[in-house]
């Protein structure tokens, strides 16, 4: 017989975690999809970027950061960071079972596999995500004859962090990253944005990729997946709370200044609580 599941406190918040402010795109989608839920978002800004670090280091950081959310009584954890989803999901599930832990890789891979007509899919992500092969495996698991081409784009994280999201410089950098996808024989018809920071470069990515390439980002599909799973376990909030707490491990001012591009609403440094891990 299986162990009885502990009763879920439906009024508890959902924890959302990222290496920085990029995961606010996922928080935005979660809030829109589940307006009655409370959220606690943690951006580990002191240790960003995760995408250039080893899997072992990212696992250690992710378990520590999630621990902070767990002590705040979250009923589920959403790993908004693609790098942490790609390399630390198993470690997080083991560390905090039976807490439901959701990542962004599987929902993003499923969306890309669904929309691609030719099965030729490009993935843009961080070095660590590409090296681990999580997106490649997730897409091939769903669509065995797909051809997946993954490219690490660390400069796009820097551009997005600087708010340098349009004009000649981003366009040239994006063109260089997308070169082989478009003109080097890879001939993709779907481009998966496998990093929290890339949705705010969507306009320039779409322009360079051209009309024949469909862009997929995992924020929407992740939010849908999390909402369905939480409703299924009877853990959805019944009373509207719509409260939100934002935590950062460094520089509340920078978090507010850059974060508003990702969240799509004004933020003040006073809205953010500074914590130590």
Q: Whose CA is closest to 131, among 79, 183, 186, 57?
A: 57
Least distance from C-beta 215 to ligand DGL, angstroms?
16
Q: Whose CA is closest to 256, among 44, 158, 248?
A: 248
Stretch in the footprint of ligand DGL (CB under 6 A) among 33-41, 75-83, 142-150, 217-225: 75-83
Hey, which residues are catalytic here? 81, 195
Least distance from C-beta 89 to ligand DGL, angstroms?
13
The contact pattern for ligand DGL, residues 77-106, with x = CB under 6 A and - = no contact, is ----xxx-----------------------
DSSP string, 131-185: HHTHHHHHHHHH-TT-EEEEEE-HHHHHHHHHT--SSHHHHHHHHHHHHHHHHSS
Stretch in the footprint of ligand DGL (CB under 6 A) among 8-16, 42-50, 141-149, 254-262: 42-50
Closest CB to ligand DGL belongs to which residue? 51
42 binds ligand DGL (CB under 6 A): no
Q: Whose CA is closest to 217, among 96, 148, 126, 124?
A: 124
Determine if the peptide bond prior to 98 is cis (ω within 30°). yes
Cα radius of gyration rounded to whole Å, the chain: 18
How many residues bind ligand DGL (CB under 6 A)? The answer is: 17
Stretch in the footprint of ligand DGL (CB under 6 A) among 130-138, 189-197, 212-220, 227-235: 189-197
Say which residues have a Cβ less than 8 Å from residue 245's Cβ, sequence separation at least 6. 13, 38, 39, 40, 41, 273
Beta strands in 163-262 (DSSP E): 190-194, 214-217, 244-248
218 binds ligand DGL (CB under 6 A): no
> For residues 157 and 182, which CB has a smaller minimum distance to ligand DGL in the complex?
157
Q: Which of 16, 79, 157, 237 binds ligand DGL (CB under 6 A)?
A: 157
Q: Which of 42, 48, 150, 215 binds ligand DGL (CB under 6 A)?
A: 48
249 binds ligand DGL (CB under 6 A): no
Applying the rule CB under 6 A, the residues between 107 and 146 that interact with ligand DGL are 126, 129
The backbone region for 192, taken as left when phi is positive above 0, alpha when psi lies in -120 to 50, beta otherwise, is: beta
Q: Whose CA is closest to 229, among 1, 22, 30?
A: 30
Applying the rule CB under 6 A, the residues between 159 and 188 that interact with ligand DGL are none
Site of interaction with ligand DGL (CB under 6 A): 18-20, 22, 48-51, 81-83, 126, 129, 157, 195-197
């Amino acid at each position: 017989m299986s162990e009885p599941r502990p009763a879920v406190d439906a009024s508890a918040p959902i924890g959302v975690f990222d290496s920085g402010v990029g995961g606010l795109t996922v928080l935005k989608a979660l809030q829109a999809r589940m307006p009655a839920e409370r959220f606690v978002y943690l951006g580990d800004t002191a240790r960003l970027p995760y995408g250039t670090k080893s899997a072992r280091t990212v696992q250690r950081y992710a378990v520590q950061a999630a621990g902070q959310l767990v002590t705040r009584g979250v009923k589920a954890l959403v790993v908004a960071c693609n790098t942490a989803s790609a390399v630390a999901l198993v470690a997080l599930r083991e560390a905090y079972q039976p807490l439901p832990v959701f990542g962004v890789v599987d929902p993003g891979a499923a969306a890309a596999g669904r929309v691609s007509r030719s099965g030729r899919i490009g993935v843009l992500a961080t070095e660590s995500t590409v090296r681990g092969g999580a997106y490649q495996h997730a897409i091939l698991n769903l669509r065995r004859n797909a051809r997946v081409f993954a490219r690490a784009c660390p400069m796009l994280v820097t551009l997005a962090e600087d708010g340098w999201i349009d004009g000649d410089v981003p366009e040239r950098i994006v063109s260089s990253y997308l070169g082989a996808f478009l003109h080097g024989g890879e001939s993709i018809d779907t481009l998966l944005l496998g990093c929290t920071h890339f949705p705010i470069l969507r306009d320039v990515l779409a322009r360079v990729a051209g009309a024949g390439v469909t862009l997929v980002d995992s924020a929407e599909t992740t939010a849908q997946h999390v909402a369905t799973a939480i409703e299924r376990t009877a853990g959805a909030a019944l009373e509207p709370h719509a409260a939100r707490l934002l935590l950062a491990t460094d520089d509340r001012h920078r978090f507010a200044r850059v974060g508003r591009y990702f969240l799509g609403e004004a933020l003040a440094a006073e809205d953010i609580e500074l914590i130590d891990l």
